[in-house]
Structure 1
Amino acid sequence: MLTVELMAKAGGKPSATEVVFSIQDHLPALYFAFGRGKTELLAEEISREWDFLLPGEKEKVAEIIREAEVQNTGLFGHRRHNLKQILIQGIGYHHAGMSPALKDLVERLYESRLIYVLFCTETFAVGVNFPAASTVFDSCRKWDGREFRGLLNREFYQMAGRAGRRGFDPIGHVFVRIDDRFPEQTGFYREDEVEPVRGRLAISPNTVLSLLYWKTDEEINRFLEQNLAAYQNNRESRRLKGELEALEGKNAELGNCFCENIYQPSCFLLRAKLKNELRSLSRRRKRGRPGSRERREEIRAILKVAPKKCQHHLCVDARKKQDLYTEKRTRLSRRLKVLDRHSRDFEMEFNNMWDLLEALDYVDGRELLPRGLFALYLHVQEILVTELIFNGYIRDRAPQEVVAILSGVDYIPGREEYVEPGLIKLDHVEELRKYLLKKGVPENFCVWSHLPGPLSSAWYDGAAFEELMARSSLQEGDIFSMLRRTIDLLRQIERAAGEDVELRRQMEHIRHRLDRDEVAIMGI
């Protein structure tokens, strides 16, 4: 069971320190903030006034930290020097920018009940089963990559649901930090309105190549028609059609409320409509319009007919309901058309991608050509990587250049990410990318960036992890993820190389050079 409380302060928001003071009887708490830097700032803010651990607990935390540092040299580095101290105070933070080793340390301390307030981003609520006595929302708005927006019901309850520990808390407490200057933020969440999870089949080059290579025409059609998204669309279409039929029935029943004189000169409904029109035409700005005077005279003539004496309020109520049903029917019909169009999208996307692969010489009908057989074993940016191989951008190149190129595959830089430029020029890769875009390759299947190249090539040359961090604004977790993705791509190319022993050995050599030290310790 959850109980949600709003926390406000006259003239603005309460500080994190004030929030913790108010909820100190409901700890440990997960304090969700939407920004990596915000979690760190809030943790440091309350560490200046709060210390939750007893001397024995501090010794236990210090011992766990020492063990972690023995296993992971340079665990905290120069960017996390404050984290060690605040952990010893029973406070921590957790976000995707931290190294896996550091995140694992924080999680172990929290699981051991040695962290009383953990500031974290929403990723902590996904796939990690660490409940708390309470959860706190620093805000109910977040940046989704395009704009700031309010949290969805699904997002709110994914995080709020962490409140309440089985066997400890009969009630899970959820606190929301509200700025009283913006009362609209209190338009709140309902568990019975949680948005459904929607299926979305992504028709990638690998999807098309795999289906053509492994499946018959009948199996391909069944795959396109019976995936989760199509199933959900068909189920919703049946529901909407049922609602439309019910509305038609109700509309027909309302028709029995009207007499044979409906919309005749004596009918109240017609007379009310004409009176409104007459008032509109009598306004100064419409009186002089062509045809206005004639229409007014026509209406007055109709209104001279004696009105019928009847219970016209029944007709008025019936007409209002019919208007509501008509409006709802229009919305349902529009949604039904969208679903019908989407149900055909999968087949259209499949055929469009098939045509593109044929134009690029990946397939000839259903037969996979050499490029297609290579891309069959790739699962990220298949066309771009295949063209890098087949156009000579990888083979027989210096390994530093190869790793700089491959680390940029599928990499989307953050808004303020910076890396010191390296000596390797990669303009030719950008030219290839532009060429593929002109050939019709969709932008999302041609993603590449030069930005991580200097870091990955330096790592290949033996640079220390701290040196990579010093040469960029990237956090350690971002650098780790970039290198692991590059290692995984190298594995994919090894598999795709097949009997091309030279290419396979080239990729294997680079992969072994990258898979070392901090990256190898936390590797898969």
Structure 2
Amino acid sequence: MERVEAENPSVAIEAVQDHLPALYFVFGRARTEELASELGREWDFLFQDEKEKVLQAIEETEREHPEIFQRGHRRILRKLLQQGIGYHHAGLSPILKNLVERLYENRLLWVLFCTETFAAGVNFPAATTLFYSCRKWDGKEFRTLMNREFFQMAGRAGRRGFDRVGHVYIKIDDKFPEQTGFFNEGEVESVYGRLTISPNTVLSLLKWKTDEEIEQFLTQNFSAYQERRSEREIQGLLEQLKGRHGQMEAYFCDQRGEASCPLQRRKLIREQKRLKSAKYKNRPGSRERINEIKRFLAENQAQRCLHEVCADARDEQEALNYQRAGLMNQMNAIKQQTRRYIQEYQFVKSVLEKLGYIHDREFYARGNFALELHVQEIFITELVFSGLLEELPPEDVAGILAGVDYVPGRREFVPAPPYDPTPVYELREELLNAEVPPQFLVWSNTPGFVAHAWYKGESLSYLLEHTSLQEGDVVSIIRRLIDLLRQIDDASHSNPPLRERVREIRRVIDRDEVAVVF
């Protein structure tokens, strides 16, 4: 692992040019594009025959999607690809991401600027990985990469059969130089499972499992297994601490805690000084205690001994006690987590019973409907049973459903949709008042404009011009909507009119760049 001091990517690439191809990790979509453009002004990595192969792949893509490189700055990407330079992030359309990935796999891209999602691609190794920064925005704050995150990306360096070693370079951040290069592969954070008790989880368990099987599922799932293993590890550490604590006892003499013990006398002297301070001297009983300590010290002489050894042993025991308290807190938290799964299950079940989805193991219409859903089950079910999906125009239904389970980004700008979302807000408020947890009612009006316009036949270019979203964002919104419509279709077998309407909405929006093949 080496450090590279360079703001301009050309300087960094020059330093590693003997170890290409390279993945250059950047934590920001716009920055990947900016850095690729900067590098493209000075570097061209391809021979003429390679350029022809890239151009052939580009033209094949353009024949199927003529406008793919005409939007925004994508014309620049077209040029960069023919220089052996590319970028890859979630904002790209799936078509462009696929093209970039194919070119990289075929060794026609020598430098690829990418976000961390690219690190999950097991088929995309490189000779070198570079880090533009070791800090990222995690949705709440800017923070330093965890060891696990860093090595997931750094691990792309080294191609089997091509490279004897992989090279990793980190650009020094002038603002945070102390936070660069501290990563330790021996301290990679563990990945822990977390069982999510959703309405669908509860409904599925009640539908298909016995009480004994449900209890086994809640107490012996992978997450619970990890917790039991952690509990055993902590128990082992506690035994080690207990043994070490016992060893320290050998350093204390029989006079420990007696009047002749130098450590005890020091403790009393400190107490005496504290009681004489301005804060304590006028408190009731302070003078009496001071005199008592004075008599005690005068009447008893300190013995001569190696009390420094006792002091070190005492300090060691105090440190061990502190560690033990921390481990005990972890142990209690683990035990509570297993109980929490059962408590969450009972809570969600009580919510479903209160809303009229089930009674014990008896399923009502709402319960059978929600059983077929896998996202925001309660909110979708209530939308259906409120009649809104059958009463409103289909383009409005598309807009409303697009907002299910959607959390807007920090800098998203999307116009308000051309319909009144008040009924949806009112329904959500009613459910909140009925004590349905907010995490089961995640909905946003933000993507409504996108889905409504797409249903009305507007193009992807139109949506990109009127919002701050990128192609990948728009495609993601519509594809998630298509999947949700499929779920509602599956759940509507007892309501043929709704099923037909949902299928028609899906047929209209499942087109062009966002088309999904099931």
Checking the alignment, whether the CA contact within 8 Å between 2:170 and 2:180 is kept in structure 1 is no
1:167 to partner: Cα distance: 1.6
Question: Which amino acid in the other structure matches residue 3 of structure 2?
Answer: L
Q: Which residue of 2 aligns with 1:7?
A: 4
1:463 to partner: Cα distance: 1.8
1:418 to partner: Cα distance: 1.8
1:234 to partner: Cα distance: 1.5
- 2:325 pairs, out of 322, 330, 335, with 330
**SS of corresponding position for 1:395:** helix
Question: Which amino acid in the other structure matches residue 47 of structure 1?
Answer: G
Q: Which residue of 1 aligns with 2:140?
A: 146
1:284 to partner: Cα distance: 6.3
- 2:223 pairs, out of 223, 226, 229, with 229
Range with greater deviation from structure 2 (348-357 or 70-79)? 70-79
1:386-418 CA distance string (max 9 Å, x none):
011101111243211111111111111112212
Q: Which residue of 2 aligns with 1:413?
A: 408
Range with greater deviation from structure 2 (16-25 or 401-410)? 16-25
Question: Which amino acid in the other structure matches residue 40 of structure 1?
Answer: E
Checking the alignment, whether the CA contact within 8 Å between 2:370 and 2:381 is kept in structure 1 is yes
Report the Cα distance in structure 2 between the residues aligned to 1:87 and 1:453, rounded to whole angstroms: 34
- 1:78 pairs, out of 71, 80, 93, with 71
Question: Which amino acid in the other structure matches residue 442 of structure 1?
Answer: P
Report the Cα distance in structure 1 between the residues aligned to 2:455 and 2:360, rounded to whole angstroms: 41
Report the Cα distance in structure 2 between the residues aligned to 1:316 and 1:347, rounded to whole angstroms: 48
Q: Which residue of 1 aligns with 2:293?
A: 299
Q: Which residue of 2 aligns with 1:492?
A: 487
Q: Is 2:373 aligned against 1:378? A: yes
Checking the alignment, whether the CA contact within 8 Å between 1:47 and 1:89 is kept in structure 2 is yes
Aligned counterparts, 1:354-393, within 5 A: 354-393=349-388
1:330 to partner: Cα distance: 0.8
Report the Cα distance in structure 2 between the residues aligned to 1:44 and 1:298, rounded to whole angstroms: 81
1:283 to partner: Cα distance: 5.4
Report the Cα distance in structure 1 between the residues aligned to 2:233 and 2:106, rounded to whole angstroms: 49
- 2:52 pairs, out of 59, 63, 77, with 59
TM-score of the two chains, using structure 1 as the length reference: 0.94
- 1:98 pairs, out of 89, 92, 95, with 92
Checking the alignment, whether the CA contact within 8 Å between 2:21 and 2:111 is kept in structure 1 is yes
Aligned length: 516
Checking the alignment, whether the CA contact within 8 Å between 1:100 and 1:477 is kept in structure 2 is yes
Question: Which amino acid in the other structure matches residue 346 of structure 2?
Answer: N
Q: Which residue of 2 aligns with 1:460?
A: 455
Q: Which residue of 2 aligns with 1:117?
A: 111
Gaps of 5+ in 1: none
Return closer, same or farther for 1:260/1:397 CA change in 2, 3 Å cut-off: same
1:281 to partner: Cα distance: 4.8
1:227-286 CA distance string (max 9 Å, x none):
111111122122222322332233233323322211111112212323333454555666
Q: Which residue of 2 aligns with 1:46?
A: 39
Report the Cα distance in structure 2 between the residues aligned to 1:465 and 1:133, rounded to whole angstroms: 37
Report the Cα distance in structure 2 between the residues aligned to 1:324 and 1:489, rounded to whole angstroms: 55
Report the Cα distance in structure 1 between the residues aligned to 2:398 and 2:348, rounded to whole angstroms: 29
Report the Cα distance in structure 2 between the residues aligned to 1:342 and 1:182, rounded to whole angstroms: 37
Question: Which amino acid in the other structure matches residue 83 of structure 2?
Answer: Q
Q: Is 2:24 aligned against 1:16? A: no
Report the Cα distance in structure 1 between the residues aligned to 2:2 and 2:292, rounded to whole angstroms: 63
Range with greater deviation from structure 2 (368-377 or 234-243)? 234-243
1:45 to partner: Cα distance: 1.4
Report the Cα distance in structure 2 between the residues aligned to 1:58 and 1:444, rounded to whole angstroms: 50
**SS of corresponding position for 1:136:** strand
Range with greater deviation from structure 2 (93-102 or 415-424)? 415-424
Report the Cα distance in structure 2 between the residues aligned to 1:323 and 1:436, rounded to whole angstroms: 52
Q: Which residue of 1 aligns with 2:422?
A: 427
**SS of corresponding position for 1:256:** helix
TM-score of the two chains, using structure 2 as the length reference: 0.95
Question: Which amino acid in the other structure matches residue 51 of structure 2?
Answer: K
**SS of corresponding position for 1:354:** helix
Gaps of 5+ in 2: none
1:291 to partner: Cα distance: 4.8
Question: Which amino acid in the other structure matches residue 267 of structure 1?
Answer: C
Range with greater deviation from structure 2 (120-129 or 266-275)? 266-275
Q: Which residue of 2 aligns with 1:395?
A: 390
1:77 to partner: Cα distance: 2.7
Checking the alignment, whether the CA contact within 8 Å between 2:173 and 2:180 is kept in structure 1 is no
Report the Cα distance in structure 2 between the residues aligned to 1:181 and 1:391, rounded to whole angstroms: 54
**SS of corresponding position for 2:168:** strand
Q: Alignment identity in percent? A: 52
Report the Cα distance in structure 2 between the residues aligned to 1:159 and 1:237, rounded to whole angstroms: 31
1:43-91 CA distance string (max 9 Å, x none):
1111112222222222221111111111222112321121111111111
**SS of corresponding position for 2:388:** coil
**SS of corresponding position for 1:25:** coil
Question: Which amino acid in the other structure matches residue 235 of structure 2?
Answer: K
1:523 to partner: Cα distance: 4.1
Checking the alignment, whether the CA contact within 8 Å between 1:7 and 1:14 is kept in structure 2 is no
Checking the alignment, whether the CA contact within 8 Å between 1:484 and 1:523 is kept in structure 2 is no
Q: Which residue of 2 aligns with 1:176?
A: 170
Return closer, same or farther for 1:65/1:249 CA change in 2, 3 Å cut-off: same
Question: Which amino acid in the other structure matches residue 30 of structure 1?
Answer: L
